[in-house]
Chain A
Amino acid sequence: MHLLGTELLEAREILPGQWLQTYHAPELATGSRAGQFVHVRTGDLSGLVLRRPFSIHTLDAATGTITIHFRTVGRGTEWFTHLRPGDNVDMLGPLGRPFEVDPRSQHLLLIAGGLGMAGVRALADEAIRAGRQVTLLFGAASARDVYPTSLLPDEVEYVVATDDGSMGHHGFVTDLLPRYEAWADQAFACGPEPMLQALARLAATRRSRMGVAKLGRKRGAGKGHAVGSPLARRKAFLQVSMEQRMGCAIGACLGCVVMATSGVPQRVCREGPVFASEEIDWEGAWGR
């Protein structure tokens, strides 16, 4: 984790209200992994006291750049859209724990809902570099919110679902999962919590529905490892990137917790943001 001065190189609005910004940050570009995030400081004159967490959307070690992808939802994100190339921005990162791909996994299923693309996008690059096959299921409200195909690597199979049916499958992205889960060795998801919850339920019953455990895993796969440990994630079929309102982003303030099945709230910024789906208490009323 470093405290870095980074320079904005490029900013563009890729979708209505959604921005993609490229920053020169060599330490982050080389030292980060898919699933990690940066905590970015807004300007002093903005009157905002908290940094803003952004997933590392893509990272390019060769050019020393990272990109972040965000939607303008308030004064903080609004402030970022006013930045111009050449402006300096203070970033804390890389933070959190990354996605862990089992070395034996060849078929990766990525599932993104809306801005959840920001969380899983880097994993697509990482997996393709490692010679794996990637299918990306993407859900959005309508065609105007669909992440542009041009920003994805050619190797990715991109399947779109829209709530209003204006593009691709008419319905939720979770409807698509049964078609791909037999193909997938592991799945990685980021998006609204109801989507993650639905995926987690599907993943939990996957073994009984499909009658076989992938990867030759033994009894109790995904269990028995400490919450947040890399092994617990690596052994899990479904890994989810969680979102929560965040304060310090380094584990000090305990603001951004999610309830774990162990009964102890886990910090999204420290134990997460990527969790094995079995680690999260999806059914409890706590925090919902």
Chain B
Amino acid sequence: MKAKRRVVTNSGGSTTAHRSSTLRRQRTSNALTSMGCKDSAVDMTTPRRGDATGRETVATADVDLSVDLGRGLVLPNPIMVASGTFGYGVEYGDVVDVDRLGGICCKGTTLRSRIGNPTPRVAETPGGMLNSIGLQNPGVDAVIAKYASTWEGWRVPVIVNVAGESVADYVEVVKRLDGIPGVAGIELNISCPNVGRGGLQFAIDADAAAGVTAAVRRATDLPLLVKLSPNVADIRPIARAIADAGADALTAINTLSGIAVGGSRQKPLLGNIYGGLSGPAIKPVALRIVYEVCQVVAIPVIAIGGITDIDDVLDFLAVGAVAVQVGTAIFADPTLPVRLVAELEGACRSGGFASYVPFVGTALPKRPSSPSSKGVEYRP
């Protein structure tokens, strides 16, 4: 049952990426038939059935952009918005039709409310920006009370980004989110670089990452995404450990740690000194990490890092991602994610594909590449 290679190559194979996770989902949902939300999610997958034969379909056919991330989490399209850049989904309501997005990852949520880091919290840098928000949020209970009913009314799945200081924190937050209508999944943020104990300690060590993933896995049946940190020497053992611990999908990457210097040059600019770098500047790093991760795990990988146009999306699909998250670019262009959905559909249509699966993994090597990480040279 376990697919050796998750990705689709251009050598004429079938849609293994989706097939493996679809099979996995069916098994899961058979085992857990009690939850109504899962059943409805299964219904949503039915249109996808035609995919296996869809590759030869001509341009006239409808393009199906849906993607199954496992455990019943089916996104209507692979363009998501990244945690921290889209609030709780309601903020951009005036200018964006959120229901046309593939998924929303909400602001990092912790057990108790957090006031976050001192200001300044953002700084623009060449081709990107630094942020050190510091996980400001009202706490999981307030988030549920305030937004869950809104999310429930949306077609777009809302994935709650969860952060914590300890394994117990993560487990408790996830337990409270479990079973809440409107919460479609969990994105485990074990990689926030801006908080002393923001979970980054979990992301830089394979055992710790596996430990927290496994603990959360035991606590919930919600689809579980785990967000990887680029601030490590070699991502692959960590990605493998998280996948083996029961994550349904991986998100790569979180921000890179960096600093900026203030106007008077007497001290670093950000109130927190360190911030996380995002934006087009980090796209090559994100591509590299997605490329590496996709070769070692069999679960879906969601790419994030510097996406500003459809070419960036196709680049990430080519190195094996099955979905992407748009983040920093939303600040300049709030309508970008929705436009990318249309442009991806257009790309499929002009290629004569019934889904975007043929774009996935085309740039991956035929056999696992030699170690691309040579140790400390990647250390930030």
Which chain B residues lie closer than 8 Å to A244 at the CB level?
119-120
- Surface stretch bound by B, among A47-55, A59-67, A137-145: A47-55
- Choose among B94, B115, B131, B332 the residue that contacts A255 (Cβ–Cβ < 8 A): B131
Contact between A49 and B118, CB atoms less than 8 A apart: no
Contact A245 B107 (CB under 8 A): no
Q: How far is the CA of A255 from the CA of B124 in the complex (A)?
A: 12
Interface positions, chain B 87-107, Cβ under 8 Å from A, are: 87, 91-92, 94-95, 107
Contacts of B335 in A (CB 8 A): 3
Residue numbers in A under 8 Å from B328 (CB-CB): 49
The answer, yes or no, to whether B84 is at the interface (CB within 8 Å) is yes
Contacting B at CB under 8 A, from A252-276, are 252-259, 263-265, 270
Which residues of the other chain, A, contact B126 by a CB distance below 8 angstroms? Answer: 47
Query: In this complex, which of B84, B116, B124 has the most chain A Cβ atoms within 10 angstroms of its Cβ?
Result: B124
Closest to A269 in B: B91
**In the bound complex, how far is the Cα of B27 from the Cα of A34, in angstroms?**
59
CB of A92 closer than 8 Å to a CB of B: yes
Q: A49-B329, A247-B122 are in contact. Are A252 and B127 (CB under 8 A)?
A: no
Q: How many whole Å from B336's CB to the nearest CB in chain A?
A: 11
Given A255-B121, A286-B118: A248 and B85 within 8 A (CB)? yes
A50 with B331: CB separation less than 8 A: yes
Q: Are B122 and A245 in contact (CB under 8 A)?
A: yes
- In the complex, are the beta carbons of B279 and A1 less than 8 A apart? no
Residue A250 at the chain B interface, CB threshold 8 Å = yes
**Closest partner residue, chain B, to A263 (CB atom):** B115
Task: Report the count of interface residues on A (CB-CB < 8 A).
Answer: 35
Assembly CA distance A81 to B329 (angstroms): 23
A287 and B272 alpha carbons, distance in the complex (Å): 9
A2 close to B (CB within 8 Å): yes
Bound form: Cα–Cα A253–B329 in Å:
12
A254 with B136, Cβ < 8 A, contacts A3-B95, A49-B329, A287-B271 known: yes
Given A41-B332, A51-B332, A248-B331, also A254-B121 (CB < 8 A): yes
Q: Does A246 contact B (CB under 8 A)?
A: yes
**Nearest-CB residue, chain B, relative to A246:** B122
With A245-B122, A252-B92, A256-B122 as given contacts, are A51 and B115 in contact (CB-CB < 8 Å)?
no
CA of A254 to CA of B91 in the docked complex: distance in angstroms?
A: 11
**Chain B min CB distance to A190 (Å):** 18
Cβ contacts A to B, 7 pairs, < 8 Å: A2-B94, A42-B332, A49-B280, A248-B87, A249-B331, A252-B86, A252-B92
A: residues with CB less than 8 A from B are 1-3, 41-42, 47-51, 76, 92, 244-259, 263-265, 270, 286-288
| Given contact pairs A250-B334, A253-B122, a sample of 15 additional A-B residue pairs in the complex whose CB atoms are under 8 Å apart | A3-B95, A49-B279, A50-B122, A245-B119, A247-B131, A248-B87, A254-B116, A254-B121, A254-B136, A255-B122, A255-B131, A256-B119, A259-B115, A286-B118, A287-B119
